[in-house]
């Protein structure tokens, strides 16, 4: 009997430890991915979503399906970015400050145990500050570095359905469900590109490399000190900007951007293949500061291939 109790205790302890590890890893992934979701240069959300099966005759799930469309519909996201261009260090050397406030809300049903469908609500509030330097290496080549800081608060509320095992509920709460975390993350960036002006506009080959590291500093999570999100992403692409006749005395253009984003570490949950593609085309109007805190505005379409939010999106551009 004594040996049985010891074995049972060890088994229970192992379950608790496994759930603690799952809870920590889940928080790390959610927090790391939130930094990508709020960066329009890496992942694009919009004001309306649609399936690409109406445009692409393919059963390939990487183009998006009902599952990814339902997931996108469950997400509410608001991002308010602004950039201050500081006085030039040199004629070929510029620097700037960027701030960003963001909110992500997700509401959906989950099934942690067969036969138990429960409602889960997640919220992420973020504040971001980044200092950047841009250097013109030659007429066409440029490079840049930046250092950003994220202060992010995550919380979730989980409503257990009737009959859910109370013993399991007591273990899950505070680790995976009904928990919160405040995390401080640093994000150094290096980018390089080639830009050429043409009679019709300009085109740019661009590369951007991001590394993310963070530390949990507060919240209701029982293992907050173990929460250390870490990940990386690399974006490679080509962008075309086509000049069009000015409207209302301000300049505007048509932008076409095609890029591949590779992700790793805690960001890899964005894609089963550790990479995805985005193509966007839109009309952007430069307000030339005629409206406070609004540099430009526009509308366009975006196609995402290979990520957890694959599909088509109608996009509203704001301070791009």
pLDDT tens per residue across all 320 residues of the chain: 444 333 433 354 556 777 788 889 999 999 999 999 998 876 666 677 777 766 776 678 788 777 888 888 888 888 888 889 999 989 999 999 999 999 999 988 776 666 666 778 899 999 999 999 999 999 999 999 999 999 999 999 988 877 777 777 888 887 788 899 999 999 999 999 999 999 999 999 999 999 999 999 999 888 899 999 999 999 999 999 998 877 666 678 899 999 999 999 999 988 889 999 999 999 888 876 667 777 778 888 888 999 988 888 888 887 77
Instruction: Report the C-alpha gap between 232 and 188 in whole angstroms.
Output: 10
The CA dihedral of 232, 47, 63, 156, to the nearest 10 degrees, is 50
For the domain 2-318, what is the CATH code?
Answer: 2.40.128
Instruction: Report the C-alpha gap between 173 and 159 in whole angstroms.
Output: 11
Residue 310's φ and ψ, nearest 5 degrees, are -60, 150
Nearest Cα neighbor of 123 from 152, 151, 97 is 152
Instruction: Write the DSSP string, the chain.
Output: -HHHHHHHHHHHHHHHHHHHHHHHHHHHHHHHHHHHHT-TTT----SEEE-GGGT-----GGG--HHHHHHHHTEEEEEEEEEEEPPPSBTTEEEEEEEEEEEEEEEEEEEEETTEEEEEEEEEEEEEEEEEEEEE-SSSEEEEEEEEEEEEEEEEEEEPPTT--HHHHHHHBTTTBSEEEEEEEEEEEEEEEEEEEETTEEEEEEEEEEEEEEEEEESS-TTGGG---EEEEEEEEEEEEEE---BTTB-EEEEEEEEEEEEEETTGGG-TTSEEEEEEEEEEEEEEEEETTEEEEEEEEEEEESSTT-EEEEEEEE--
Instruction: Write the DSSP string, 182-197.
Output: EEEEEEEEEEEEEEEE
Query: Could you tell me if 16 and 176 are in contact, meaning their C-beta atoms sit under 8 angstroms apart?
Result: no
In this prediction, residue 112 carries a pLDDT of 63
Domain boundaries, the chain: 2-318
């Amino acid at each position: 009997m004594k040996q049985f109790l010891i074995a049972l205790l060890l088994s229970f302890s192992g379950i608790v430890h496994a759930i603690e590890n799952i809870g920590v890893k889940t928080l790390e992934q959610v927090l790391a991915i939130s930094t990508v979701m709020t960066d329009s240069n890496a992942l694009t959300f919009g004001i309306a979503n649609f399936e690409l099966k109406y445009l692409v005759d393919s059963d390939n799930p990487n183009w998006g399906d009902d599952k990814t469309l339902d997931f996108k519909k469950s997400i509410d996201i608001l991002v308010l970015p602004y950039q201050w261009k500081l006085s030039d260090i040199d004629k070929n050397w510029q620097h700037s400050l960027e701030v960003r406030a963001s909110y992500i809300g997700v509401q959906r049903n989950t099934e942690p145990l067969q036969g138990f469908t429960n409602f889960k609500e997640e919220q992420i509030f973020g504040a971001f500050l980044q200092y950047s330097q841009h250097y013109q290496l030659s007429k066409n080549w440029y490079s840049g570095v930046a250092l950003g800081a994220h202060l992010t608060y995550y919380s979730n509320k989980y409503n257990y359905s009737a009959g859910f095992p109370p013993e399991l509920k007591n273990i899950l709460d505070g680790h995976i469900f009904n928990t919160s975390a405040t995390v401080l993350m640093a994000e150094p960036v290096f980018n390089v590109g080639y830009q050429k002006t043409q009679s019709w506009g300009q085109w740019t080959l661009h590369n951007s490399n991001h590394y993310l590291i963070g530390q949990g500093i507060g919240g209701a999570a029982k293992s907050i000190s173990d929460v250390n999100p870490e990940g990386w992403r690399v974006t490679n692409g080509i962008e075309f900007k086509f000049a069009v006749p000015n409207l209302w005395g301000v300049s505007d253009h048509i932008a076409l951007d095609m890029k591949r984003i590779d992700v790793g570490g805690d960001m890899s949950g964005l894609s089963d293949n550790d990479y995805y593609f985005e193509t966007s085309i839109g009309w952007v109007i430069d307000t030339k500061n005629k409206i406070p805190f609004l540099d430009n505005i526009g509308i366009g379409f975006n196609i995402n291939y290979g990520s957890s939010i694959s599909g088509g999106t109608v996009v509203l551009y704001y301070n791009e």
